[in-house]
Amino acid sequence: MQRIVILGSTGSIGRQALDVVMKRPADFSIAGLVAFSNREELLRQAEATRPDFVCLVDESAAKQLRDDLGSTASATPTLLTGEEGLLAAAAWEDADTVLNAVVGGAGLAGTLAALKAGKKLALANKESLVAAGKLVKRTLEESSGSLIPVDSEHNALWQCLIGEKDSEVARLLLTASGGPFWGRRPSDLADVTPAEALAHPRWEMGQRISIDSATLLNKGLEVIEAHELFGVDYDRIDVVVHPQSIVHSLVEFVDGSLKAQLGPTDMRLPILYALAWPRRIGPVLPAFDITTVGDLTFESLEPGWAPCFDLALEAGKAGRSYPAVLNAADEVAVAAFLSGMIRFQDIGNIINHALSEHEPIDIDSVDDFTQVDAGARASARQAKVS
């Protein structure tokens, strides 16, 4: 029986993780749940799972939750609040595994705290590795913890690499669905609305990653994540567009052989894999019938089709603090697009502005990250848009 803490339990990954946990009561139980401000959902989740603690990072929402908890008749979980609460949650003594499903650069603190406490970290928050990859890896090396990727592509690569030698890996091939606008010309996308950009053809996800999938910035973040996670150079990581999202990624070996991981388009599968690792248990999903899948197609992603992807690759290759700037500027730009303040194509212009203004540093500490993150957000807010 593994005791699990979920950081970001009220989000898309968090809710799917709770579904996995509740389907396997003999294998998993919930030690604690953390969200930012969604107290109604957190309260519902706490009633269903009876955790040791709940945590809201937003202090005013936490104050209201305190009143809600006081009025419930059932055993009351400990209430943690604020950033301090999140750090305590990630290091909770009576927990084995932390699933980090917080969105954005805000997830870094939980990643580092869980690893320092020697936990098994199931990492959905790719931004931790993108913005502070060296720091996360150093923390992992110095800890007794472990890190298993939840992102479906990286989870697939992880599975394909088991039992293989690094020296025999030729290339990593990340698959990309292409998002809602695949097949259209970039010049036709100037006036797309947030609703159109949020309508992903294959995956139901949180708002930020959905917009990032439409701009393909998300695939750029994933290339950086793969570089940091597997230590493979950028010139040996490629992206292929595979609109069916059945092949979750592939590894090519020096003999020319390709190994792929396939499965349904459902994040509960990589979540289950990461939570159960190093075992395999289940299933938690209906059987996947490969005969119903139909054609599987693979196309190349031409440079210039997705400017945000190209910017992400440049930032990844430039290294140092550039990927942290990429992430922070994108968070600002996506929020502005969702609130109707900027057009779709301005997302790339804002990121470009923040990257070109930036003076790089090495990110060796949380303070370094905080400084770069704040500077990039300020720069992104000042960018001129069309």
Ligand X SMILES: NC(=O)c1ccc[n+]([C@@H]2O[C@H](COP(=O)([O-])OP(=O)(O)OC[C@H]3O[C@@H](n4cnc5c(N)ncnc54)[C@H](OP(=O)(O)O)[C@@H]3O)[C@@H](O)[C@H]2O)c1
Contacts (CB under 6 A) with ligand X, residues 135-154: 151
Assess 81 for contact with ligand X (CB under 6 A). Answer: no
Assess 370 for contact with ligand X (CB under 6 A). Answer: no
Question: Residue 114 Cβ, how far from ligand X at the closest point, in Å?
Answer: 13
Assess 89 for contact with ligand X (CB under 6 A). Answer: no
Question: Residue 13 Cβ, how far from ligand X at the closest point, in Å?
Answer: 4
Among the listed ranges 19-27, 185-193, 206-214, 360-368, the one in contact with ligand X (CB under 6 A) is: 206-214
Q: Which is nearer to ligand X, 88 or 252 (CB)?
A: 88
Among 5, 33, 57, 347, binds ligand X (CB under 6 A): 57
The pair of structure tokens assigned to 167 is 């020296």
Among 21, 79, 91, 102, binds ligand X (CB under 6 A): 102
d(CA 48, CA 178): 37
Among the listed ranges 30-38, 244-252, 300-308, 325-333, the one in contact with ligand X (CB under 6 A) is: 30-38
Per-residue x/- mask for ligand X, residues 261 to 280, rule CB under 6 A?
------x-------------
Backbone torsions φ then ψ of 325, nearest 5 degrees: -65, -45
Assess 106 for contact with ligand X (CB under 6 A). Answer: yes
Assess 213 for contact with ligand X (CB under 6 A). Answer: no
Question: Residue 162 Cβ, how far from ligand X at the closest point, in Å?
Answer: 20
Per-residue x/- mask for ligand X, residues 305 to 344, rule CB under 6 A?
----------------------------------------
Assess 36 for contact with ligand X (CB under 6 A). Answer: yes
d(CA 189, CA 343): 9
| CB of 224 closer than 8 Å to CB of 312 | yes
Question: Residue 363 Cβ, how far from ligand X at the closest point, in Å?
Answer: 18
**Cα–Cα distances in Å, from 158 out to 150, 278, 307, 341?**
10, 12, 28, 39
Question: Residue 170 Cβ, how far from ligand X at the closest point, in Å?
Answer: 26
- Residue showing the smallest CB distance to ligand X in the complex: 11
Q: Which is nearer to ligand X, 129 or 232 (CB)?
A: 129
Pairing of strands 237-241, 299-300: antiparallel
Assess 12 for contact with ligand X (CB under 6 A). Answer: yes
Question: Residue 119 Cβ, how far from ligand X at the closest point, in Å?
Answer: 17
Among the listed ranges 204-212, 239-247, 282-290, 308-316, the one in contact with ligand X (CB under 6 A) is: 204-212
The number of residues in the chain equals 386
Binding footprint of ligand X, residue count (CB under 6 A):
29
Is the omega angle on the peptide bond into residue 186 within 30 degrees of 0, that is, cis? no
Assess 182 for contact with ligand X (CB under 6 A). Answer: no
Sort 192 into a burial class: Cβ within 10 Å, 0-12 / 13-18 / 19+. Answer: middle
Assess 175 for contact with ligand X (CB under 6 A). Answer: no
Assess 8 for contact with ligand X (CB under 6 A). Answer: yes
Contacts (CB under 6 A) with ligand X, residues 108-137: 124-127
Question: Residue 43 Cβ, how far from ligand X at the closest point, in Å?
Answer: 12
Among the listed ranges 3-11, 238-246, 249-257, 350-358, the one in contact with ligand X (CB under 6 A) is: 3-11
Which residues of the chain form contacts with ligand X (CB under 6 A)? 8-14, 35-38, 57, 86, 101-103, 106, 124-127, 151, 203, 205-209, 267
